[in-house]
Structure 1
């Protein structure tokens, strides 16, 4: 007997990716349920290569008997329904921002802190980190273990899919409008995104940072080490799928590019492609549809005593969201935290 798994937000970008990855990785599920708002009631979503599941109404669904809930419907919806699912006996892996900084909810990246999943018993909920944080900490963890990271300065180049289907549509429509000389319409983003970069993701905070930048700071501390200092600048770029990051680190112990390559080459979840030649690095476009976190452009930072620069790229819908969520569920199963469905 396998597990009964519900995917909340199944009609969205991440929800569809969750269903694909569950099937791809042959997660031990006997029953997979697609849940969405009443607007999507009855809509068919793909599961695997040749199966389709009709969406059920989240508002009227009874979670009793569900073992695992993979939730990605938006923070406000999760705030209401994730606790309901947990109260009914399911373990919820929540991909929204709502529970990430709750001290009673573990924030997990399986390659970094898999042991933290045990903390789900407090509220029945595990939080999936922000997409930009996930790929960065996967690359940072082996270096932190080897050299002791003290400070991180990161600039992100984040694709429009991070803003949902509406963000992707806006990039497409604005690009088309530029070519045919139509007026540019802005709905999802604060400025034109086609042929542009916007240094503004999520809302502004009192100190001038955006919420996205704040997330990278506090989530890195919670997942890895509260002593690490982080400075982030998050930028939306006209790319459909795939986030890139320029990451600079300062370490406690001496570090060199050669030593970093040797450590990263052995690290789980990382594909190191770092050739100092044309095309010897990975771009967001090449990461789309892939599971790995790619690390390129590893080089010494000679402006500080123990410094390193690197370029980190990943598919934000997969490793940055859906894949990490499914990997957390796999840790729960493999470590014996979940009972089999009756």
Structure 2
């Protein structure tokens, strides 16, 4: 007997990717339901070779649903996740709404799988920010080996992190540049075509953006609260795939060769690191792939026990949809959830 799964926000970029990955991975679902707002009711979305008609979230009864994977934004999640959880359905939420709640585990299965047992307090599990998820996958095995003290990260984040509107704006602006039409900025604060914008999410009192703050808070919650981290998050004119230049200072000595060997054996990681033309990964090669890629592994000559890394991943997959479904698989593998129909 399989599980009944609801995909909330099924018409968005991440929701559609969740449906693709459910099918790709052969997730043990007997029934999959696509949900969204009323204005999307009746829209058709693909699930493998099947077509699902989207149902309205606000009239759906979750009492016989086992898992709800949420990608409908923070405000929707704040309203609906507790309601869904109280109906006995486990919510795995892709928004930031519950990431910093001490009663809600924030999970990357390769990093902190044991923390998942705390989900029963609210029946909610949080998925981290896309930029944090790929970074901690690469850093966890190195932290285990040499203990990270400090991280300095600069991100190069694709427009798909801002949803379909972000992708549409890059496409529209790029076309406008080529045909000499006026370039309008709607989703982003400045033109994104042939430009980079050092601003993701809102500004905070200390001058950092909320995206940068998220990387600090989430790394501390999942990896180690003692780690110091500073981030600069930048939107770049790339459709899919986030890249990160990461400088890491360790307590213990670790060489680039040692790091390379550790990462080659680490779950979820794929090392592509040849010191030659093209011997590294770029975002376009990560699109559609599950791995977190690590390239440009080298020692920092300005600091003891420090390394530089280049980390790239598909933000719609490991940064969002894939990680959500890996959390669901972890729940099942550890016997923490049973199908309601079977239980009945």
TM-score range, shorter chain: over 0.9
Alpha-carbon separation, structure 2, partners of 1:118 and 1:26: 24
The answer to whether 1:14 aligns with 2:10 is no
Q: Is the 8 A contact 1:2 1:341 kept in 2?
A: no
Structure 1 residue matching 2:258: 3-state secondary structure = helix
- Correspondence for 2:216: 217
- Displacement of 1:339 in angstroms is 1.2
- Correspondence for 1:207: 206
- Correspondence for 1:45: 45
Alpha-carbon separation, structure 1, partners of 2:21 and 2:152: 32
- Displacement of 1:39 in angstroms is 1.1
Write out aligned runs for 1:43-192 (5 A): 43-48=43-48, 50-192=49-191
CA displacement, residues 190-209 of structure 1 (integer Å, 9 cap, x when unaligned) = 00000000000000000000
Write out aligned runs for 1:283-302 (5 A): 283-302=282-301
- Displacement of 1:74 in angstroms is 0.4
- Displacement of 1:341 in angstroms is 2.9
Unaligned runs of 5+ in 1: none
Alpha-carbon separation, structure 1, partners of 2:2 and 2:42: 25
- Correspondence for 1:34: 34
Structure 1 residue matching 2:277: 3-state secondary structure = coil
Q: Is the 8 A contact 1:10 1:16 kept in 2?
A: yes
Runs (4+) of structure 1 exceeding 3 A deviation are none
Alpha-carbon separation, structure 2, partners of 1:216 and 1:75: 17
Provide the aligned length of Structure 1 versus Structure 2: 341
The answer to whether 1:232 aligns with 2:225 is no
Alpha-carbon separation, structure 2, partners of 1:145 and 1:202: 31
| TM-score, structure 2 normalization | 0.99
Alpha-carbon separation, structure 1, partners of 2:39 and 2:160: 21
| TM-score, structure 1 normalization | 0.99
- Displacement of 1:340 in angstroms is 2.0
- Correspondence for 2:24: 24
Structure 2 residue matching 1:26: 3-state secondary structure = coil
Write out aligned runs for 1:239-278 (5 A): 239-278=238-277
Q: Say which is worse superposed, 80-89 or 321-330, in terms of deviation.
A: 80-89
